[in-house]
Homo-oligomer: A and B are copies of this chain.
């Protein structure tokens, strides 16, 4: 008689964004006359830029002719894309990352969920609190998190690193020593960042304690301040302790195109065992590459035209971020983020919980955000708004909130 993976049954409720979506749809069905504005899920709204559209059409044409048709992609991704990434995202910033340390994938969500597989079940994980829920949820599914406390909404074997107004949303080194440390900067959901000097402390700590850092830099394109690192490999010693995850979803609008990559330096080892070789084995055995046409679209992100067009696209969203940030400040809210990230982090007023404020916003302003408590216990009483709407909708949403 077959047995299911009982770890799945420990997961409380459904995935955060599914619940948000359900509540929104229920409200919309009950009030078909209302225009609900979604500033909740981190999905982009601007179309792909012309350089990318052109690259896609060209690659599609290649697939239609025997001489230029491409079947299975190389295990780690096409060299043209891995070279473009190595040159632009790493060498140009002085980071020593070579093309064969880059693994192209269909997105950072898959990578951030799958990366835990190459580690044993007896590792203790540490996460920022609040943070993107996929890190913890996928460790729950693997059986690495102990038991769930439904009151505190925490797992017994997870080390939570609170990121609150008290520490300016930057985690402190944990008291218990973790084996695997998930860091996400610019942070989802708080929109906060840490400086290069602060990140260097984490790298030093990981090297000293033998921990591995899984560094999720999905939002690096939104960094505007000079002392904020774009890659963990800007720090000395990161090659022996850090894996970096990157996405094309937010810098190039690929949420529906699907492309990302993971960097594992060859020096990153446990004894003799290189994590690079384990991840290569996983890629070779369980994955079959990102589509050729999508990898060509990724290449176009790094072309001169692509770069110029995407700079404008990011600026468009950051104009939204500034509008939200300033508008809510004017309305008397306590807000942060929105400077190096497309997320604005908002304190719910009058002692409201995150979900109470969610309902309040949905019902009274017809604006959908994401309850901060969905990202971890320290997210309670907070609320996330995203800058990924259209400018018109963003302005309308902020004005409605101000009018409340």
- Residue numbers of A with Cβ under 8 A of B are 1-6, 8-9, 11, 14-15, 18, 41, 43-48, 50, 53, 56-57, 60-61, 63-66, 68-73, 75, 106-107, 109-110, 113-114, 117-123, 134, 137-138, 141, 179-180, 209-212, 253, 255-258, 270, 273, 275, 278, 281-282, 284-294, 390
Report whether A63 and B69 are in contact in the complex, using a CB–CB cutoff of 8 Å: no
Q: How far is the CA of A47 from the CA of B64 in the complex (A)?
A: 5
Report whether B257 and A4 are in contact in the complex, using a CB–CB cutoff of 8 Å: no
Cβ-neighbour of A284 out of B18, B293, B294 (below 8 A): B18
Please, which residue of chain B has its CB at the minimum distance from the CB of A258?
Answer: B291
Separation in Å of the A370 CB from the closest CB of chain B? 14
Q: A72-B43, A291-B291 are in contact. Are A56 and B60 (CB under 8 A)?
A: yes
Please, which residue of chain B has its CB at the minimum distance from the CB of A116?
Answer: B5
6 pairs, A vs B, C-beta closer than 8 Å? A14-B281, A18-B75, A45-B66, A47-B63, A69-B256, A117-B141
Please, which residue of chain B has its CB at the minimum distance from the CB of A289?
Answer: B258
Cβ-neighbour of A291 out of B109, B121, B257 (below 8 A): B257
Separation in Å of the A368 CB from the closest CB of chain B? 15
Cβ-neighbour of A4 out of B61, B120, B253 (below 8 A): B120
Report whether B2 and A270 are in contact in the complex, using a CB–CB cutoff of 8 Å: yes
Report whether A118 and B4 are in contact in the complex, using a CB–CB cutoff of 8 Å: yes
Report whether A119 and B3 are in contact in the complex, using a CB–CB cutoff of 8 Å: yes
Q: Which residues of B contact A122 (CB under 8 A)?
A: 3
